[in-house]
Amino acid sequence: MQSMVTMESIIDVKPLGNYNIWVRFADNFNATINIRPYITTGISTKLLDVDYFNRVKIDEFGGITWENGFDFCPNYLRELIDKANN
């Protein structure tokens, strides 16, 4: 029997200083995560511009995204947060 993976969904996002983002998930869990370690090469470097970084929004799949297409799946983001808190 296959187990079902629950798809997370972000319902609120706020950019904070120093490349931190606060997110609230549909289950009301909320946390802050630093995105700087994931800004490395390619399209992610656009996020080094603080004004651009602050334009983060929620996409149609419940993840977070920026205008250039750089994004985080909500399940992956939740996993990163869980690992950082353990």
43 neighbors 49 (Cβ within 8 angstroms): no
Break the chain into its structural domains and give their ranges.
10-84
pTM, two decimals, is 0.89
For domain 10-84, the question of CATH label 3.90.75.20 is answered with no
Residue 59 to residue 11: CA distance in whole angstroms? 10
- Quote the strand ranges of the chain, DSSP E: 10-15, 20-25, 30-34, 57-58, 64-65, 71-72
Q: What is the pLDDT of residue 1?
A: 55
- For 37-85, what is each residue's pLDDT tens digit? 999 999 999 999 999 999 999 999 999 999 999 999 999 999 999 998 7
